[in-house]
Amino acid sequence: MSTETQEQLENREITNRYRALLRAMQDRADNDDRKLIRKAFKLAQDAHADVRRKSGEPYIFHPIEVAQIVAKEIGLGPVSVAAALIHDVVEDSDYTLEDIDRLFGEEIARIIDGLTKISGVFDQDISMQAENFRKMLLTISDDIRVIIIKLADRLHNMRTMESMPAHKQVKIASETLYLYAPLAHRLGLYNIKTELEDLSLRYTEPEVYRDILLKLKSSKADEIKYLKRFTTKIREELKKENFDFTIKERTKSIYSIRKKMINQGISFDEIYDKFAIRIILNSPPETEKADAWRVYSIVTDFYRPNPERLRDWISAPKSNGYESLHTTVMGPEGHWVEVQIRSERMDEVAEKGYAAHWKYKEDASGANKLDIWINQIREMLENNEGSALEFVNDFKLNLFGEEIYVFTPKGDLRILPAGATPLDFSFGIHTDIGLKTLGAKVNGRLVPLNYKLRSGDQIEILTSLKQKPKEDWLNYVVSAKAKSNIKSALKSERKEQAEEGKIILQRKLNYVKVKPSENLINEMVKYFGLKSSLDLYYRVGMGIIGNTQIKEFMRDQSQGFYSYLKNRILGKAKKDTSKAVQKEKKETQEKKILVFGNEETELDYKLAKCCSPIPGDDVFGYITSNEGIKVHRHSCPNAIYLQSNHAGRLIKAKWISTEKSEYTTVLVIRGIDTVGLVNKVTQIISNDLNVNIRSINIAGDEGVFEGLITVVVKDKIHLSKIIEKLKMIEGVSSVDRR
């Protein structure tokens, strides 16, 4: 095939994709809008001419597809689509922000400016750093469309990652799971969030992904057939009641199935609610709530509901605007089926998030909630004094996490992060109330300040003008606002105390005729093992360091305290040398089984306690700040966090031999409680397999049991044999490695 023919084919494909984009916009674009989109398309073509992606296809495919996601899957308008088409132009070509402003105006220039500021945070060959994420959030305050277009950009990159090197795939997928998928969820973009999670799992745990995908495919036909049968009676009754409706059958996403398998320690076959249907009603806004409950009544006339699985997000929508009525009912043949009931408006909001609220102008609640959320971010950014990583963790907890719904004494609804306490509630009402909190009543009963609130609780805060925040309050709160305000108040109080302490210390030193010079203060800071002069002054102000301690310091200094201390440490080191050499030799012998990097170099390392790797496990090294290399399993609970935030510190690791003969690992065993069960377990492990048990803890409750067994094994093959043997014991339903 000639180059010219290839070029013609590509040009035809570019034209087809561009026309598909215009078709996606036909319901919300007039002639001027189409001219704007064409102008942006032409600029993108010019800026990216002759540039190709890693896959070899023309680069222009990428901005067109990002614009298509923005237009069709999210439903934004012409300005956003035009911005999506030229989102990479300033970064990747000679066009400047001033050019964009001149050609497209201030609004689009502002969006492109926001996108350019955060470019490189995620797409360069560097780790996603927390500080950059904090900077990225600043752009939300300017225009939420910056983040939405960035989400579309990330989604298309995730869809087209096959041609990238494996290590980059893992890094980008980990970042996506860590921040982008939760961000999509928070903005109400449920479909995008689900696809980002599934695509991320495809690269972070490819074998697990393929296994679940194959099982879903093999059972899909039977499941759809079952759901058609399940909905027959419901369809007939809804038609009798003259409802205008659509019913969609759906299965759980691959990622949500994997998450449930891990959280509940169950197999794919044990997940009971893989079946789900969605009933979508064409109802006007004034009757949609009543209609949803009428449909609920019809469904539960035919099938028995599980009362613990009713979720009413119509009366109290989620903070991302999600509205729906969920119930789980027992269908034929003993299968649980999740039923979601919502109106067409609610369905569009559920799939397109805040963008859908702009379409339904009469519903201001979505826009209001978006404003509240952006204000929360602004508040967190302004009040945050901790490290960037602390900030990101607080942000995820408060703005991505599960929520509870509580009430003020007057009955006003407040949304708090799950795990919140009365202190979180009081700071949520007002900072001054939080700082003066003396106690709290929940549902009329006095409770401690660290009491975990639950949805439906009504809270009354008791205050006192004499009350001041305490250090342990930081252990009682989960919300970022409460944490930052408590830290700020404690810091302010500490500063006041330190200023007083400085005066006291100067007075005490003057009394013993010693001039309080900067050198002397630094010596005192070292002597008392403190970090700064502020810590020293604070302790003096609090009376922790008094006359006695100051006299001891003066005496030790006059005796050459530091040279004495140095000699003592050196002397101890000499005594311990032989032990240290022996220990080092032993460790060196044990550590020749792992090599690191492309050169397969032998380096010192430690096995991470969070996942206890053993030979045969798929592992990687993490270079810590002060403990050398820590080795983690790729399936470690902390792996996604490390791959996302510290990709630059990760190093390849590979098992080459098994000179060390013993490794400790923990097994989780579950099943039906039978007589002599513990005895059978210990007999098989100790006698039949000749394996050392470090600890065993099995507890039974109403006929079922769960236990943790710590065993010493040689490698992964050895461990697999133990697991298989244990699974054969009568009553044991599952054995998993923790």
* Interval 160-174: pLDDT, tens: 998 888 888 888 888
Distance from C-alpha of 456 to C-alpha of 411, rounded to nearest angstrom: 10
The confidence score (pLDDT) of residue 389 equals: 54
Domain 207-363 CATH class label = alpha beta
Least confident of 96-100, 177-181, 397-401, 661-665: 397-401
DSSP state of 444: T
The confidence score (pLDDT) of residue 370 equals: 57
**Crossing angle for the helix pair 288-302 and 206-240, nearest 10 degrees?**
100
The confidence score (pLDDT) of residue 551 equals: 77
Residue 475 has pLDDT above 80, yes or no: yes
The confidence score (pLDDT) of residue 476 equals: 86
Count other C-beta atoms under 10 Å from residue 584's C-beta.
11
Confidence of residue 661 (pLDDT cuts 50, 70, 90): low
Give residue-wise pLDDT tens across range 328-350.
999 888 888 899 999 998 888 88
Confidence of residue 42 (pLDDT cuts 50, 70, 90): very high
Least confident of 291-300, 581-590, 721-730: 581-590
With left for phi above 0 and alpha for psi between -120 and 50, is residue 484 left, alpha or beta? Answer: alpha
The confidence score (pLDDT) of residue 291 equals: 94
pLDDT mean across residues, the chain: 79
The confidence score (pLDDT) of residue 294 equals: 94
Residue 585 has pLDDT above 80, yes or no: no
Least confident of 22-26, 389-393, 500-504, 620-624: 389-393
Give residue-wise pLDDT tens across range 306-326.
888 888 989 888 777 788 999
Residue 31 has pLDDT above 60, yes or no: yes
The confidence score (pLDDT) of residue 83 equals: 92
In this structure, which topology does domain 663-737 adopt according to CATH? Answer: Alpha-Beta Plaits (3.30.70)
Q: Give the range with max mean pLDDT: 38-52, 125-139, 591-605, 709-723.
A: 38-52
Q: Are 328 and 311 in contact (CB under 8 A)?
A: no
The confidence score (pLDDT) of residue 605 equals: 85
CA distances from 735 to 209, 235, 538, 713 (A): 21, 42, 54, 16
Of 134 and 732, which is predicted with more confidence? 732
Residue 614 has pLDDT above 90, yes or no: no
- The CATH 3.30.70.260 domain(s) of the chain lie at 663-737
The confidence score (pLDDT) of residue 566 equals: 41
The confidence score (pLDDT) of residue 378 equals: 59
Share of the chain above pLDDT 70, in %: 81
The confidence score (pLDDT) of residue 448 equals: 86
What token pair was written down for 534? 């502020």
Rounded mean pLDDT of 394-410?
Answer: 69
Domain 368-487 CATH class label = alpha beta
Q: How far apart are the first and last CA of the chain?
A: 55
* 92 classed as catalytic: yes
Distance from C-alpha of 82 to C-alpha of 42, rounded to nearest angstrom: 11
The confidence score (pLDDT) of residue 139 equals: 52
Residue 3 has pLDDT above 60, yes or no: no
Rounded to 5 degrees, what are φ and ψ at 731?
100, -20
Residue 560 has pLDDT above 80, yes or no: no
Catalytic pick from 10, 91, 523, 556? 91
Rounded mean pLDDT of 361-365?
Answer: 42
The string of DSSP letters for 552-588 reads HHHHHHHTTHHHHHHHHHHHHHHHTHHHHHHHHHHHH
Give residue-wise pLDDT tens across range 415-427.
788 889 999 999 9
Q: Are 152 and 75 in contact (CB under 8 A)?
A: no
Task: Tell me, rounded to whole angstroms, the distance of Cα 19 from its chain centroid.
Answer: 37
Of 219 and 215, which is predicted with more confidence? 215
Of 704, 640, 647, 630, give the one whose Cα is nearest residue 670.
Answer: 704
Rounded mean pLDDT of 359-385?
Answer: 53
Residue 386 has pLDDT above 60, yes or no: no
Q: Give the range with max mean pLDDT: 366-380, 532-546, 580-594.
A: 532-546
Its pTM stands at 0.64
Rounded mean pLDDT of 488-494?
Answer: 82
Share of the chain above pLDDT 90, in %: 18
Distance from C-alpha of 383 to C-alpha of 371, rounded to nearest angstrom: 18
The confidence score (pLDDT) of residue 681 equals: 79
Residue 504 has pLDDT above 80, yes or no: yes
Rounded to 5 degrees, what are φ and ψ at 292?
-60, -45
The confidence score (pLDDT) of residue 580 equals: 47
The confidence score (pLDDT) of residue 202 equals: 93
Rounded mean pLDDT of 108-127?
Answer: 63
Confidence of residue 123 (pLDDT cuts 50, 70, 90): very low
Confidence of residue 710 (pLDDT cuts 50, 70, 90): confident
Count other C-beta atoms under 10 Å from residue 332's C-beta.
10
What token pair was written down for 260? 């449930």
Catalytic pick from 10, 33, 92, 273? 92
What token pair was written down for 340? 């979601």
Of 666 and 131, which is predicted with more confidence? 666
CATH number of 3-206: 1.10.3210.10
Residue 565 has pLDDT above 50, yes or no: no
* 91 classed as catalytic: yes
Rounded mean pLDDT of 139-154?
Answer: 77
Confidence of residue 73 (pLDDT cuts 50, 70, 90): confident
Of 732 and 648, which is predicted with more confidence? 732
What token pair was written down for 178? 């860590």
Residue-level length of the chain: 738
The confidence score (pLDDT) of residue 281 equals: 95
- The CATH 3.10.20.30 domain(s) of the chain lie at 368-487
- The CATH 3.30.460.10 domain(s) of the chain lie at 207-363
Confidence of residue 589 (pLDDT cuts 50, 70, 90): very low
Least confident of 112-126, 384-398, 405-419, 576-590: 576-590
Rounded mean pLDDT of 94-98?
Answer: 88
691-694 contacts, C-beta under 8 A, 24 or more apart = 691/722, 692/662, 694/664
